[in-house]
Amino acid sequence: MRAVARSRTERASRRSGPTLRARGGEMDQALGPFLGTWTVMMAAMMLPSATPMIRLHRLGADGRLRTQLWSAAFVAGYLIVWASVGIVVWGAGIAASSILIPEQRALAVSAILLLAGVYQFTSVKATCLRACRTPADFLLTHWHRGLSGQLRLGIEHGLYCLGCCWALMALFVGVGAMSLVWAIGIALVVLVEKVRPEGIVFGRIAGTLLIAAAVIVLARPELAMSVGGPM
């Protein structure tokens, strides 16, 4: 039975499209190359939703050179947060590959879906999302002077963004196996949540669907083999 489950998992992984999976063979690579790949993907996924904040931040600097330097420091701080998350993902991937067996995939997928869905309704999510959706308020209440201050500001914004999106990233990694299809899907959810007027309602709808998906996967474990790559 284990061999059959593993075979189904491998077929599901091939169907899920290109992947930057941080488990198995890919996870055996050194931390440095993995972090490079991870950071590029996070930049592609998260910077579009941070564009309003970055644009408004540029208005706080005087002079072209200072604007460029301050913006670079702000974005660097933001990406430092997400690069640091990659270290956790790398370590968790190694641990999961040595602990989980294919028969446990349905339970793990259901748990991650439930976690991501429930988190959409929490006060912590609401607080972090509010900071991301109101760039002017965030910059006025967190502004720091100087180049190092802009790096710190970027880190602070990155932490709010992480607080808003960490459960969706757990879904991306744990269920979607970091496939390109899942990357696009999660990036779109994050973008709508942060930028669009209907983002808050959209996030709650997404949370409801994730909770429903968790129940369905728990009731029909075979579906867990088709939602992403192996765990």
pLDDT, tens digit, 9 for 90 and up, residues 113-138 = 999 999 999 999 999 999 999 999 99
d(C-alpha 186, C-alpha 170), whole Å = 11
Average pLDDT value for the chain: 84
pLDDT at 26 over 70: no
Q: Is residue 10 part of a domain?
A: no
In a domain, 231, yes or no: no
Q: What is the maximum alpha-carbon separation in the chain?
A: 67
Q: What is the DSSP letter of 179?
A: B
In the chain, how many domains are there?
1
What's the pLDDT tens digit per position in 147-178? 999 999 999 999 999 999 999 999 998 888 78
Q: Is residue 1 part of a domain?
A: no
What is the value of pTM for the model shown?
Answer: 0.82
For 57, 127, 129, the CA distances from 194, given in Å and listed in that order, are: 16, 12, 7
List the domain range (segments joined by +) for residue 97.
20-226
The arithmetic mean of pLDDT across residues 20-43, rounded, is 74
- 6 inside domain: no
Residue 48 lies in a domain: yes
pLDDT at 207: 97
For residue 15, being part of any structural domain is answered with no
List the one residue out of 184, 70, 73, 191 whose CA is nearest residue 133. Answer: 191
